[in-house]
Structure 1
Amino acid sequence: MATQPQLNFLTFEHFTAARQEVAQLPATGNSPFFGLPFLIKDLGLALAGTPLRIGSRSTAGMISEADSHLVAAFKRAGLLIFGKTSTPEFGLTPFTEPQFGGPTHNPWKRGYTPGGSSGGSAAAVSAGVVPIATASDGGGSIRMPAACCGLFGLKPSRGRLSLSPNGDVWNGAVVEGCISRSVRDTAAFLDTFSGPAPGELYTAPPPPAPYRQAMMDNPGALRIGFSTAHPLGLAVDSECVIAVEKTVKLLQELGHHPEEVALPFTATDLTERFMYVIFGEASAEVRRIGIKRGRPVKRHEVEPETYALYLLGQQISGADFAYQRSRWGELAHRQGQFHQDYDLLLTPTLSQPPFPIGSLRSSPAESLLLSVLNGLNARRILQTQVKQLAEKIFAYMAYTPIANMTGQPAVSVPLHWTPQGLPTGVMFTSAIYREDLLLQISAQLEKAQPWFERIPKL
């Protein structure tokens, strides 16, 4: 595969099995995805008989024994899974630069990030390797790579697609979905694969009509609140502001009613209520890996940042964790109140366009300090160091985690490219379970300003 050496988007090649599946396929099938080459993200979804590396050295030798519920559905639909795509370690960062496997490159400019944590899937779709690939989203990991790679990325509502057999992932923050080149393909994906497995912890009500049908309906004149303010009071790159301003004008031309509003969430929602739970979940993930493989994960087997999160998660009391998680419900109520007045919220997807690989990683000095602090278990100093790294990351991804906390659907739409030729997305968020509305507004924008033919030159 000519593009793999250039972009490094694959962690595992499943070519032989895919060829065997092609030979066994009937001549025709009923699924819109019948016979389509397909890639799945190497995180969360299990493909029987293959490694599940999740971007980490710590998972060496771990082989999935059975297909996830969704993977089995992919096979029944006739999708031909020929590989797994790269992800940062445990999906913890908005860039895809694992020490295991190395960084994935953006097809629009090598040496630049494709986003994360679904960076491998986004790079593959953007490069034209496949038209659609799986992605998951626990803090923006569908929408951020879509924005970085000029693609359409819809994060479904909590419970829309099965997580089985994993059950709860990150206290309901994580959902499965896809990254694609078109509104139509994402709508077809939702139509084909939505629905719970038996015993699913979270379930979303079925839509009143198939999404491929609903996306063509006229939603009428929508009330759309928009903001380019940064939740942490920081600067937003001018290109990301321009992207929203251009979208506002386009919405007005389409007959909608955009209005500038104050953001219905705060810095505290991100830096405390989201981060506290992530500390706990990252710590639990390291523990789960140790249980699965039959021996605890050692410090040298994971990246310094991951081990620091593990130690900090050990420090959080059950009461603190439960308190911060309970505040997610308060945030969901605030968002629900906002959507009593506005059908949609429009913001930048990210606060800056794609950046050079390595820009958000810990510097060598920071990594060394973390390693030393991890070894000493100096938790107070460690907490300060991790907080500084978290603030640097939230400066970049300040908008996306909110929908993960509340369970709402949200979508990144590729409507702007910088003068340097780098894509940057705008994000719409709707009330929970209103994927139909997101698809309708996206379909209108796609028709007014098509992006399907915008393909990077490799």
Structure 2
Amino acid sequence: MSSFDYESYDGLGLAQLVKTRQVKPEELAEEAIERIEQRNPKLNAIINKMYDQAKKQAARVEQNGVFAGVPMLLKNITQEIKGEAITSGSRALQTFRANQDSHYVRDLRKTGAIFLGQTNVPELALMAITEPKHHGPTRNPWNPDYTPGGSSGGAAAAVASGMVPLAGANDGGGSIRIPAAYCGLFGLKPTRGRTSVGPLYGRHWQGASVDHVLTKSVRDSAAMLDHTATVEKGAAFLAIPFQGSYLQSITEPLPKKMKIAFSVRSPIGTEVDAECQEAVEKAALLLESMGHVLIEKEPPVDGHAITKAYFTLYFAETAQALSAIRKHIGRKVRFTDVEPSTWLLALMGKITPAEEFVKNIQVWDQASCQMELFYEGFDFYMTPATALLQAKIGELSTTKIENAFVRIVGSMGLQRLLLKSGMVYRLFVESFKRTPFTQLANLTGQPAMSVPLHVTKQGLPLGVQFMASKGREDLLLKPAAELEKTFFMDSTGEDPVYCCPKLKEIRVIEKRIFS
């Protein structure tokens, strides 16, 4: 181990050490590798190590990149690295290798970050837990009996455990914000079209999915967005360019007396755990103490319609994904190639009429207009990041009987019986009850973030979600940085120089603020 404390720095802090020649990029790579070798066997966050490539990359890194020499990881879906496996968590793609870098990876390379490997994902990134049969479950560093969430669960576990200060992620329904909330990290989902989706796609999940990073500091997220935000002419969606620096914006004072709407009610009328509600209520009290106006109010959006629209997207995208896999493997995808839940989703996609799909896209657009009108009266909308606490590993797995039923019905072409059987409801609607708050921002294209503001009685972190009008990531990052300073001061009362949240101190700080 080196003389400096690797884990006490965020990405920008490590980059500054490289820039001032206090450490070499090769040293940082070795620090990260040592921790991966020690911790990954227990957590299973990383499923493909790229040490040799990383060491070569570190030896020739240029000093001018904002994250020059800083170790990071990439998500093993859509963030393709030329020549590397991209399984997307599926056995069906176990032999597939990318023939080029994705444009987002290209943009990450320009920051000078060093790629040490790829992180675990649920099959095709379909679930809010990370337990693919092909690679095995990823565990939460706070308590390995529990899930880190998904689909960027491997990325979250790697950052939260101190292996790396930041990791690539993407979010099509909460896949950045859910693991951020469950692992005590900062997670920002940018505006639709803010980062690149090419060259293989013009859109990800019809525009619902966007790439960014999971970080342990707000400023790392802001700096990375400064250097990966782009206007990609070939993309289906373009975000309004931000005329400024996201990193600079978090140093500027918050507007006085912001008007913030909040709600702790599930948009589909289901249970919200008392601790998830408490996290929001405490955040509301804190923001009120800072001089802002908090009003309990929900936007005029039909939560059930949003959920139905999201399911329709799930069905159609999964069916198409299996068709794309067929091209890669040269034959039709079989039941045994994928997980039963994936197979079920694809079956539903095959019986979903095109008319139904178009109708549900229109629901997205209506909700987008409704949210923009809502923001004419409010700066933010604040909710729990999740409705329920972390599930235990294996708790949400399908049973052998359910798996057999899916196979029998699928082989007999009786998919419509699944809709009547109740299994679709149990597998997917029940799953959405755990995380009903995040999909809205994906379908409307709004930026949204999860900020770590609570620790549960079980000793696990919990996040609070904030949403803002399209194109206003800067407006989200400001309160995130302010809350970070308020909640994560060090024992001397000074702000940590690297803005790294110290989650284990939350209970003490909560007692001081809310006693």
TM-score by length of 2: 0.86
Work out the CA distance in 1 between the residues paired with 2:226 and 2:217: 14
Give matches, 1:178-327, under 5 Å. 178-220=213-255, 221-327=257-363
Amino acid at match of 2:211: E
Q: Residues of 1 paired with 2:254 and 2:305: CA distance? A: 31
Equivalence for 1:452: 501
Q: Which runs of 4+ in 1 moved over 6 A?
A: none
Shift of 1:455: 6.1
Q: Deviations over 1:11-63 (max 9, x none)?
A: 1111111111122234xx12220001110000111100100000000102111
In 2, Cα distance between equivalents of 1:113 and 1:266: 30
Q: Aligned residue for 2:172?
A: 138
Aligned to 1:435: 473
- For 2:400 and 2:433, the matched residues in 1 are separated by 21
The alignment partner of 2:179 has SS state of helix
Of 398, 403, 407, which aligns to 2:441? Answer: 403
Following TM superposition, by how much is the alpha carbon of 1:265 offset from its aligned partner in structure 2, in angstroms? 2.5
1:266 CA displacement: 2.6
Q: How far 1:354 sits from its partner (Å)? A: 1.2
Helix, strand or coil for the counterpart of 2:324? helix
Q: CA deviation at 1:77?
A: 2.2
Say which structure, 1 or 2, has more relative contact order (CA 8 Å, 6+ apart): 1
Aligned match for 2:394, one of 345, 358, 379: 358
Instruction: Name the SS of the counterpart of 2:376 in structure 1.
Output: helix
Structure 1 unmatched runs, 5+: none
Deviation sequence 1:167-198 (CA, Å, 0-9, x none): 21111101001100011000001001110334
Q: CA deviation at 1:263?
A: 4.3
Q: Is the 2:267–2:304 contact (alpha carbons within 8 Å) kept by the matching residues of 1?
A: no
Letter in structure 2 aligned against 1:369: F
Whether the 8 Å CA contact 2:85–2:98 is kept in 1: the answer is yes
**Percent identity of the aligned residues?**
38
2:454 equivalent among 413, 416, 419? 416
Distance 1:364 1:223 in 2: 50
C-alpha contact 2:61 2:68 (8 A) present in aligned 1 = no
Letter in 1 for 2:138: T
2:85 paired with 1:51: yes
By how many angstroms is 1:298 displaced? Answer: 1.3
1:64 aligned partner: 98
Given that 1:305 and 1:386 are in contact with CA atoms closer than 8 Å, whether structure 2 keeps it comes out as: no
Distance 1:375 1:260 in 2: 50
Q: Contact conserved, 2:186 with 2:450, CA < 8 A, in 1?
A: yes
Match of 1:162 in 2: 196
Mean Cα deviation higher: 118-127 or 328-337: 328-337
Is contact 1:88-1:95 (8 Å) kept?
yes
Provide, for residues 371-408 of structure 1, a one-character-per-residue CA deviation record: whole Å limited to 9, x for no partner: 22222222122224213321101111100000000000
| Correspondences of 1:8-47 after superposition (within 5 Å) | 8-26=44-62, 29-47=63-81
1:394 to 417, 420, 432: 432
Q: Hey, what's the Cα distance between the residues in 1 that align with 2:128 and 2:470?
A: 24
Which runs of 5 or more structure 2 residues have no equivalent in the other structure? 1-36, 489-499, 506-515
**Structure 1 contact 360–392 (Cα < 8 Å) conserved:** no
Matches within 5 A, 1:322-401: 322-384=358-420, 385-401=423-439
SS of residue in 2 equivalent to 1:154 = strand
How many pairs align?
Answer: 454
Please give the secondary structure, in 2, of the residue aligned with 1:22: helix
Distance verdict in 2 for CA 1:387–1:235, change over 3 Å: closer
